[in-house]
Structure 1
Amino acid sequence: MNIRLIWFVALMISLFSCKPQYRIVDMQGEIIEIDSTFDSKPNPHIQKLVLSYKTQLDSEMNIPIGTSASLMDYRRPESLLTNLTSDVMKEYGDEHLPNGADIGVMNVHGHRATMPKGTVTIGNLFEIYSFDNTITFLDLKGVDLKKMFDAYARIGGAGISSNVKLIIENRQVKSVTVDNKPIDNNQIYKIVTLDYLAEGNDNMNALLNAISSNNTGVTLRDIMIDWVKEQTRMGNEIESAIDGRIIIIE
């Protein structure tokens, strides 16, 4: 009897372990808005529950915290929004690193919306900085910093702080300076960036060569919210400029 039972169990294991192996060959998706066109007869109890959360969320997101002097978009090689974000990131490093930061590094599509001209709300900043990316400090040798700028040249530019001057020609670095000085291959540069970029994403493979990495756990969004509030407290509008920090020679 025991032998039969063992044989039966072995047979079942054999049958179920011989399932065909599948692999994903294609993926497709679409945005489906959950509105009246999706369901013309919504459940009133669920609708009431959702509305209670929406009302509370709207009351928090619609709080005005600053005023923008102009509409700010994000694009390559530089833009008002990428310049602003990169400068604020470097400023944060200057405040939190013992000897300050050398460069702020930001990707273009880390922004997901434009900053409106006029009143800026907490909700606006949640839309712009919708990812929970956290500020990360890197120690990077000059030779690897040059590799990072080589990537900037290939992709046509990205966010960089105003103390950098990068000239690109034929998708190659023609010249680059930091604080009006050429990059020293052996110098250690203090970089302020996002955890996402520090992991080598978005063409930033060179950042994987960092000598040290410190993820602060503080989100870029929180830093930007605090910065805007501070500008308002000091009576300043949110301002940015296209200043030629990245120039592409056609």
Structure 2
Amino acid sequence: MIRGKQIEISADLESDSIILNDIQPYHDELESKITEVLCYNPRNLSREEAALESSLGNFYADVCLKSADSIFYEKTGRHIDFALFNYGGIRTAIPKGSVMVEHIFKLMPFENKLVVAQLSGRKVAELFDYLAMREQAHPIAGLHLELKDKEFSKIEIQGKVFDPNKNYWVLTHDYLQHGGDNMSFFTEPLELFISDYKVRDALIDNLRKVDTLHSSLDNRFSKNN
């Protein structure tokens, strides 16, 4: 017979000094890492700044594209055409003031890794249909989009008009590439490059190199009423 006992977790529960002593060094090491100051942020950044883009989303996508493109070019000799991530993947704002590692862990608490998918023009068209229907500030980079009445009046990729007969290299992360957030157009790539570089690490590494976090709206995704 197996017997069990329910132990209520509350402030009255006594701590175990032996266990606490064992884990204290790990606690102190983790505390020092997550409180590391990366740079200064001059204003609060959130994903709700505007209807179709945000300074936070632009920063997120731009950093990931720059970081991943360097790796991708070194490995393949090719460049990434554009990047797309999901609005829901940005979990919190970055407050004004000193930006610590902890803020980036809260912003991106997942272990998602950057991947580059080669998509056919047809699949890229499905991607744009998705953006048109959702009308959310999904983080994008390398794109200039103008939307009118649920249809795009302008689609430019790296400054060139979208060609539905061309294949494109698109940066995202592994969760979305597997169809997360209903992004099914990512699930059948012509080719797939999987990196070991986490989104969170790309953001942290970038912020370590700058004194101040600079990001703004630039109308990369706008709507004409």
Q: TM-score range by the shorter chain?
A: 0.7 to 0.9
Which of 35, 38, 52 is 1:62 aligned to?
35
The count of residues paired between Structure 1 and Structure 2 equals 209
2:156 matched to 1:181?
A: no
- 1:116-155 aligned at under 5 Å gives the runs 116-155=95-134
The aligned counterpart of 1:39 is: 10
**Contact 1:126/1:221 (8 A) holds in 2:** yes
1:154 CA drift (Å): 0.7
Q: Assess if the C-alpha contact under 8 Å between 2:82 and 2:158 holds in 1.
A: no
**Greater gyration radius:** 1
Provide runs of 4+ in structure 1 moved above 6 Å. Answer: none
Structure 1 residue 160 corresponds to structure 2 residue 137: no
Which of 196, 205, 210 aligns to 1:226? It is: 205
Aligned Cα root-mean-square deviation (Å)? 2.1
Mapping of residues 1-250 of structure 1, within 5 Å: 39-45=10-16, 48=20, 52=24, 53-75=26-48, 76-96=51-71, 97=73, 98-157=77-136, 158-161=138-141, 163-232=142-211, 237-250=212-225
CA distance in 1, matches of 2:159, 2:78: 18
- Per the TM alignment, residue 49 of structure 1 is displaced from its structure 2 partner at its CA by 5.3
Task: Return 167-176 or 147-156, whichever deviates more.
Answer: 167-176
Task: State the shift of 1:228 in Å.
Answer: 0.8
Give secondary structure in 1 for the equivalent of 2:175. helix
TM-score (norm 1): 0.77
Quote the offset at 1:130 in angstroms.
0.4
Q: Which amino acid aligns with 1:39?
A: S
Does structure 2 conserve the Cα–Cα contact (< 8 Å) formed by 1:155 and 1:171?
no
Whether the aligned pair in 2 keeps the contact of 1:70 and 1:239 (CA below 8 Å) is no
Q: Is the 8 A contact 1:135 1:218 kept in 2?
A: yes
Unaligned runs of 5+ in 1: 1-36
Tell me which of the two structures has the higher relative contact order, counting C-alpha pairs closer than 8 angstroms and 6 or more residues apart. Answer: 2
Change (3 A) 1:58 1:68: same
Corresponding residue SS for 1:165: strand
Contact 2:68 2:114 (C-alpha < 8 Å) held by counterparts: no
Q: Secondary structure at the match of 2:187?
A: helix
After superposition, what is the alpha-carbon deviation per residue over 1:108-157, rounded to whole angstroms, capped at 9, x for unaligned?
A: 11111111222111111111110111000111122221210110111113
CA shift in 2, pair 1:51/1:71, >3 Å: farther
Q: TM-score, normalised by structure 2?
A: 0.85
Distance 1:177 1:194 in 2: 22
| SS of aligned partner of 1:177 | strand
